[in-house]
Amino acid sequence: MRPDACIDIVYSEANGLNVVGAMISEKRFHLPARARTGGIRFRPGMARSLFRVQAHELTNRAIPLKALWGNSARELESRLAESKSAYDCCRVLAAAIQPPEAGPYDMQRAVEAMMAAHGDIDLEWLIRETGISDRQFRRRCLEETGLPPEQLCRVLRFRDAFALGARGLPWSLIAVEASYFDQANLIRDFREFTGRTPLSVFRYHPWPVRLRLRL
């Protein structure tokens, strides 16, 4: 899983139900061939209320959902084990999980602004717009998204660059379109977030098809 500022609930036959926090480095999970998998991905800042912990406690971690939900997660895992396909997994998950409560309005608007700008936003201006102090803004951003604002913006910019790279655009153009200072800065982020250069990340195609329900 690559850094994309999202929090996920992921089910697989091999690993059961897990919560995957906002990633700050790419992590790989072994899944047996043809194993049923499914999951739900939550936009940045939208999942904290579901897990009864602050989002930064999940950052760069994958933990069993039963550690947070107890018997409710065990019952859900049993129903998922009876599913026949990845589609059925997603359907069961979507039916079992209530839409999360929105976070504080000022913080949610700020996160949405960062997402709309793909991370290319003046944070000092954004903090002034929220009407809260710099310190409070940073604390709330960490609690709601799992990432401090500067890192959240970097991950959002990387996510945009990755999407452009998947379309096969030239890397010099991607650096400009994703608001990098230059191509060297783009390569630096890929190395930090994936451990590889952009060229090595996109060496193998096609990408696997994933069924996603976004909340």
Confidence of residue 212 (pLDDT cuts 50, 70, 90): very low
Residues 6+ positions from 163 with CB-CB distance below 8 Å: none
Residues 6+ positions from 9 with CB-CB distance below 8 Å: 17, 18, 19, 20, 39, 40, 65, 93, 97
For residue 191, what is the enclosing H or E element? helix 183-194
Pairing status of strand 37-42 against strand 62-64: unpaired
Q: Which domains does the chain have, with CATH numbers?
A: 7-101 (no CATH), 105-201 (1.10.10.60)
Per residue in 22-61, pLDDT (tens digit) is 999 998 877 777 778 888 899 999 888 888 899 999 999 9
Residue 109 to residues 104, 113, 130: CA-CA distances in angstroms?
A: 9, 6, 8
Is pLDDT at 122 greater than 90 in this prediction?
A: yes
The arithmetic mean of pLDDT across residues 9-32, rounded, is 88
Confidence of residue 90 (pLDDT cuts 50, 70, 90): confident
pTM given for the model: 0.87
Burial class (CB in 10 A: 0-12, 13-18, 19+), 14: exposed
Query: Average pLDDT of the chain?
Result: 88
pLDDT of 149 reads: 97
Confidence of residue 210 (pLDDT cuts 50, 70, 90): very low
- Cβ 80 vs Cβ 93: under 8 Å: yes
Confidence of residue 206 (pLDDT cuts 50, 70, 90): very low
pLDDT of 86 reads: 81
